[in-house]
């Protein structure tokens, strides 16, 4: 018969996240389950198995979960369905590799058809043990077809992949599940060893980039979802008082782009607008920031920034992308109505699914004087570009074309887009 174990308290705060773990399998499993807990999951349904041992051990070690055991995966799936319906919360389901996963198909189909939130955590063999005759190994990637609202094949845990990748994956999955209730599937590929050895290891260095997450009870990157309006952010008054930068990435709506430029001007923050932003050639934009980032004085002045407010993603400028990646931000917000994870470097701390005008309407900003001298510094870069592009050349064409052309300009892919972003003038 299924068994059940209650935690001491429904809303029990989880203890500090430990840096001591048996293997990287156990680090990733603990990160995954801790983030699920912070996002509201309280019930975990488990079936016995060896490959899923890291997940099971993490579930048992966590004080905040109710754990429900079932010996058969088909029954386990339907038990989880009932728990999710009764609690009105997502329920996580843990099982071992192989045909055990396939036994969840009926419950997955039922959850998709009725909009019940399940989170399937299937253990799997690592890639080197797939399709070579290894026991209890089938192709589990995409095993549930198009039924999940989100599915991801997590690679074998490794120190070369940042811990924030695990947290960010969970945040994106549950954000999509909140928009469209149904099934989330994480396929977790665990190599040996699956069980603790004689001594635990210290993973403090690996976990160090998560320092703010480690000392809080909040999810790594909670998504605020409402395209038409924007939930008020309680941290906004403090956020806007800091030295900030506004970055404009890909924005398709010119009205929203103008709202970004107006907000940057009001805040007194420098505006760094991408070619795709509709405001690349706005007078308020530091137009040649890509080339200016070769200047030590510009980098030093930008380096004084404490927070980043970004609208849209997928920046063309590699230098700007590298600056954003390596700078030590106190806070980093990204605003975009597209329900996608736009965080290639895992630096985001606040993801708002709304428009720029919705953010501005919900967060009035008093006019502030600029905190920086970037306009003067960037002007020097613009003068150098103008001198270098004076004669007819590929660079000269990209520099002058926007001013000379009378109609709409379609910029091709790859190098033309990069040169226009780098050199184009107003």
Q: What is the pLDDT of residue 275?
A: 86
CATH 3.90.950.20 fits 223-371, yes or no: no
CB atoms within 10 A of CB 175: 22
Q: What is the pLDDT of residue 49?
A: 95
- List strands edge to edge, sheet with 3-5: 3-5, 66-69, 43-46, 91-95, 118-124, 183-189, 150-154
CB atoms within 10 A of CB 229: 12
Give CA–CA dist 277/312, Å, rounded.
8
pLDDT below 70 — which residues of the chain?
Answer: 1-13, 225-228, 382, 385-389, 393-404, 406-410, 412-413, 421-424, 426
Closest CA relative to residue 306, chosen from 269, 346, 262, 266: 269
Q: Which two tokens stand for residue 63?
A: 């004080």
- List strands edge to edge, sheet with 331-335: 223-225, 350-353, 331-335, 307-311, 244-248, 271-273
Same fold, 18-194 and 223-371: yes
- Residue 184: phi and psi, rounded to 5, are -110, 135
Q: Chain centroid to CA 333: how far?
A: 11
Q: What is the pLDDT of residue 349?
A: 92
Q: Is the peptide bond before 193 cis (omega within 30 degrees of 0)?
A: yes
Contact 239, 331 (CB under 8 A): yes
- Residue 33: phi and psi, rounded to 5, are -70, -35
Q: What is the pLDDT of residue 416?
A: 72
Give CA–CA dist 420/248, Å, rounded.
16
Q: Which two tokens stand for residue 233?
A: 């952010």
Q: What is the pLDDT of residue 384?
A: 72
Q: What is the pTM of this model?
A: 0.75
Domain assignments of the chain as residue spans, ordered by start: 18-194, 223-371
Q: What is the pLDDT of residue 396?
A: 61
Give CA–CA dist 108/91, Å, rounded.
12
Q: What is the pLDDT of residue 311?
A: 97
CATH 3.30.2420.10 fits 18-194, yes or no: no
Q: What is the pLDDT of residue 295?
A: 87
């Amino acid at each position: 018969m299924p068994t059940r174990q209650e935690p001491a308290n429904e809303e029990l705060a989880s203890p500090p996240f430990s840096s001591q773990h048996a293997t990287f399998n156990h680090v990733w499993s603990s990160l995954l389950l801790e983030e699920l807990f912070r996002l509201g999951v309280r019930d975990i349904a488990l079936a016995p198995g060896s490959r899923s041992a890291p997940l099971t051990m993490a579930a048992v070690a966590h004080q905040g979960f109710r754990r429900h055991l079932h010996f058969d995966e088909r029954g386990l799936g339907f038990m989880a369905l009932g728990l999710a319906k009764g609690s009105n919360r997502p329920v996580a389901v843990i099982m071992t590799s192989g045909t055990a996963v396939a036994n969840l198909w009926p419950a997955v189909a039922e959850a998709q058809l009725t909009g019940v939130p399940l989170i399937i955590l299937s253990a799997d063999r690592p890639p080197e043990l797939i399709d070579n005759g290894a026991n209890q190994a089938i192709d589990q990637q995409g095993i549930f077809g198009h039924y999940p609202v989100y599915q991801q094949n997590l690679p074998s845990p490794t120190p070369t992949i940042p811990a924030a990748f695990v947290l960010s994956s969970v945040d994106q999955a549950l954000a999509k599940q909140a928009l469209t209730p149904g099934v989330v599937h994480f396929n977790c590929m665990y190599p040996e060893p699956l069980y603790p050895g004689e001594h635990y290891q210290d993973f403090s260095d690996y976990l160090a980039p998560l320092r703010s997450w480690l000392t809080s009870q909040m999810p790594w990157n909670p998504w605020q979802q409402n395209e038409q309006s924007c939930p008020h952010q309680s941290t906004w008054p403090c956020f806007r008082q800091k030295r900030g930068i506004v970055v404009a990435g890909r924005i398709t709506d010119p009205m929203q782009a103008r709202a970004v430029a107006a907000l940057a001007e009001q805040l007194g923050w420098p505006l760094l607008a991408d070619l795709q932003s509709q405001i690349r050639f706005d007078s308020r934009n530091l137009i040649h920031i890509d080339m200016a980032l070769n200047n030590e004085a510009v980098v030093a002045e930008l380096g004084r920034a404490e927070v980043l407010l970004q609208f849209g993603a997928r920046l063309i400028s590699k230098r700007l992308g590298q600056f954003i990646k390596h700078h030590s931000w106190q806070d980093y917000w990204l605003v975009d109505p597209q329900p996608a994870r736009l965080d290639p470097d895992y630096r985001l701390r606040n993801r708002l699914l709304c428009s720029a005008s919705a953010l501005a309407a919900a967060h009035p900003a008093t006019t502030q004087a600029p905190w920086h001298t970037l306009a003067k510094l960037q002007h020097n870069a613009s003068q150098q570009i103008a001198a270098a592009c004076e004669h007819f050349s590929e660079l000269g064409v990209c520099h002058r074309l926007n001013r000379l052309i009378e109609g709409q300009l379609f910029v091709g892919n790859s190098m033309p887009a990069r040169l226009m972003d780098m050199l184009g003038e107003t």
